[in-house]
Amino acid sequence: MTTTGTPPLPKAELHLHIEGTLEPETVFELARRHDVELPYADVDDLRARYSFTDLQSFLDIYYANMAVLRTREDFAELASAYLRRCPDQGVRHVEMFFDPQAHTARGVPMSDVVGGLTDAIDAHAGDVSAGLILCFLRDQPAADAEATLRAAEPFLDRIVGVGLDSAEVGHPPSGFAAVFGKARALGLEPVAHAGEEGPPSYVREALDDLGVRRVDHGIRAIEDDELVARLARDRTPLTVCPLSNVRLGAVPGIGLHPLPEMLAAGLNVSVHSDDPAYFGGYVDENYAAVRDGLGFGDDELRTLAVNSFESSFLDEPTRTALADQARRWHL
């Protein structure tokens, strides 16, 4: 959180799709650069379409807008624009998702996607540390996920983990057990979106069948007492994205978000931004949303930020040092 005149609360961003930072102005700029014809009159027309009814209604426009990302430079500019925002947001470390299948399917080589993102990460390394999490699209066949993992093998020194995203309902984690097994054997950290729109059983499958170290969203876990007890016992991180949940209708309003109940149940929750160019704000705006909409005070905000570092894949001494900085904020 930013309070005038004081430094922002230090935090880690663990649930951010880099393609979800593609701002409407950039969509138009890149479309001009590459002569891509857009089905929108202008930036205002595009922004006016960002009124979503559910996850799929968002994904349709999210994937369509990606058509403007063509070259290594485009990916570098996208990630640079995001990383430039991090210091003001208090973000000290990012583990960013990317969706290679959405680009390789359009003919963009994996080397340009990863190369562009890592060019930006290296250029901003003095201000913020960053890692990449390669997401498999769960609404595509598991065989495509396997081919994507193979295509990424030359770049694994720059990739910290694998994730599972896209349309959730009807695409349970169990279908991706084999590819996650291969990814774990390659030393990649496994995470998965589960319990965003899907039932608590998907969260259980992510744990049991994919061996995930973190659950992305996981808000519907709260419907299952036994699952909550397990997640609390194991301190399994849940990366919660309040503005996303409101904008996609996963919760009826910020005041009804289950985050207070999740914290009270002893769950290891942290707050993140998901697709900030589409959902009305970056991570600090998500912290402001839980402060203003749920009445969270400095104690709760510090807990969320400490959890974000402790849930990261940073090495233990760095994790602990950054968590301590968050613990001391405003004290």
Q: Known catalytic residue: 310?
A: no
Considering only 275, 284, 300, 310, the residue that binds ligand ADE (CB under 6 A) is 275
Dump strand ranges (E) for 18-116: 91-98
d(CA 297, CA 115): 41
Site residues for ligand ADE, 255-274, by CB under 6 A, read: 274
Looking at this protein, which amino acid is placed at residue 102? Answer: A
Per DSSP bridges, beta strands 214-217 and 189-194 are parallel
By residue count, the chain amounts to 331
Q: Binding residue per annotation — 124?
A: no
Nearest approach, Cβ of residue 255 and Zn ion (Å): 22
3-state helix, strand, coil in the chain (%, to 5): 55, 15, 30
Q: Binding residue per annotation — 217?
A: no
Whole-angstrom Cα Rg for the chain? 19
d(CA 63, CA 300): 35
Residue 81, judged by CB atoms within 10 A of its CB (0-12, 13-18, 19+), counts as middle
Assess 17 for contact with ligand ADE (CB under 6 A).
yes
Assess 196 for contact with ligand ADE (CB under 6 A).
yes
d(CA 328, CA 331): 5
Assess 239 for contact with ligand ADE (CB under 6 A).
no
Considering only 21, 89, 244, 270, the residue that binds ligand ADE (CB under 6 A) is 244
Considering only 74, 165, 209, 284, the residue that binds ligand ADE (CB under 6 A) is 165
Residues 77, 168, 196, 197: which is the catalytic one?
196
Nearest approach, Cβ of residue 272 and ligand ADE (Å): 10
Q: Binding residue per annotation — 193?
A: yes
Nearer to Zn ion, 123 or 251 (CB): 251
Chain positions contacting Zn ion, by CB under 5 A: 274
Per DSSP bridges, beta strands 159-165 and 189-194 are parallel
Cα 265 to Cα 149, 208, 215, 253, 286: the distances in Å are 36, 21, 16, 21, 21
Assess 95 for contact with ligand ADE (CB under 6 A).
no
Q: Binding residue per annotation — 274?
A: yes
Nearest approach, Cβ of residue 140 and ligand ADE (Å): 12
Q: Binding residue per annotation — 225?
A: no
Question: In sequence order, which residues have a C-beta less than 8 Å from that of residue 207 and are 6 or more positions away?
Answer: 215, 230, 236
Residue span 114-153 as binding mask against ligand ADE, x where in contact by CB under 6 A, dash where not? ----------------------------------------
Identify what 13 binds: Zn ion, ligand ADE, none; CB under 5 to 8 Å per kind.
none
Instruction: Summarize as ranges the residues that interact with ligand ADE (CB under 6 A).
Output: 17, 20, 55, 62, 165-166, 193, 196, 244, 274-275
Give the residue numbers annotated as catalytic, written as ranges: 196
Please enumerate, by residue number, every residue annotated as part of a binding site for Zn(2+): 15, 17, 193, 274
